[in-house]
Amino acid sequence: MAATIAGATPAVDFQDIRLEEKVGHGSYGVVYKATWRNQLVAVKEFGASAEQKAIETEVKQLSRVKHVNIIALYGLSSYQQSTYLIMEYAEGGSLHNFLHGKVQPAYSLAHAMSWALQCAEGVAYLHAMSPKPLIHRDLKPLNLLLTNKGRHLKICDFGTVADKSSLMTNNRGSAAWMAPEVFEGSKYTEKCDIFSWAIVLWEVLSRKQPFKEIDNTYSIMWKIHKGERPPLLHNCPKRIEDLMTACWKTTPEERPSMTYVVKVMNEIIKDYS
């Protein structure tokens, strides 16, 4: 099986991987910290029951991408009934944990803007892939990992990436970041990532979890469907607020492209550094 889906991804001998502790789980599968060839790596395990399609999606898409703001895929391994993806390790954990974890390190507005920009750069790269843009579809701080003492941000979890509009079936827990057209089952494009990015921007600026007070996925979807968005922030510079609200517009065509977001973010950041 491995050989047929690996494509450009090297096959790795499972005996060469030393699994250490569990560090998380993606849309499918458990993630371990591990050592491989004297380096720390992240290993994502898909058990025998994992949907074959999810594994294939993640490997096929991730093997094509190479960008500083996207977690790299090093290799693919299989052992007994399981498949393992060997990936770049991000020692800083998730942005979600940084923002909302037990220990709360301070960070500046410039730092928050840098995370949002790095996320936008990774996504802009995905959207520029040929022949078709890749859509991440599940951008949220749990899927944004930090390295280099929290300075660098890398997008992970490509189990939901698609190069076409298809129904999202494994989106539990992501409603607060999801564009309305995605959960409405309408045709959608890469513009759904722009919407999610705007919610991530709101989250790093506010250090709050969007719609946290609502514990029901469907109630969150209903609010977003009705046009409700996270509350505007006090003291938020107007240019940032304008960009954020343009990106979470209900009509996908009215949201700017990620290339435009990167350009504007660069202009704004210049004034904060």
Binding annotation for ATP: 44
Whichever of 155 and 204 has its CB closer to ligand ADE, that residue is: 155
Q: How far is the CB of 134 from ligand ADE (least distance, A)?
A: 18
Q: Which residue lies nearer to ligand ADE by CB, 71 or 244?
A: 71
Reply yes or no on whether 242 is catalytic.
Answer: no
CA–CA separation, 146 vs 144, rounded Å?
7
Q: Name the catalytic one among 13, 16, 138, 163.
A: 138
Which residues of the shown chain bind ligand ADE in the complex (CB under 6 A)? 23-24, 31, 42, 71, 87-90, 145, 156
Q: Measured from the CB of residue 118, what is the shortest distance to ligand ADE in angstroms?
A: 15
Q: What secondary structure letter does DSSP report for 212?
A: T
CB of residue 32 to ligand ADE, shortest distance in Å: 9
Q: Please check whether residue 77 is in contact with residue 14, taking contact to mean a CB–CB distance below 8 angstroms.
A: yes
Least Cβ distance, residue 17 to ligand ADE (angstroms)? 14
Nearest to 176 by CA among 227, 137, 212: 212
- Of 97 and 209, the one with the shorter C-beta distance to ligand ADE is 97
Tell me which residue of 176, 259, 268 sits closest to 219, measured CA to CA. Answer: 176
Smaller CB separation from ligand ADE, 51 or 88: 88
Residue by residue, DSSP assigns 229-252 as -PPPPTT--HHHHHHHHHHT-SSG
CA distance linking residue 244 with residue 185, whole number of Å: 24
Question: Maximum distance among all alpha carbons in the chain?
Answer: 56
Active site residues: 138
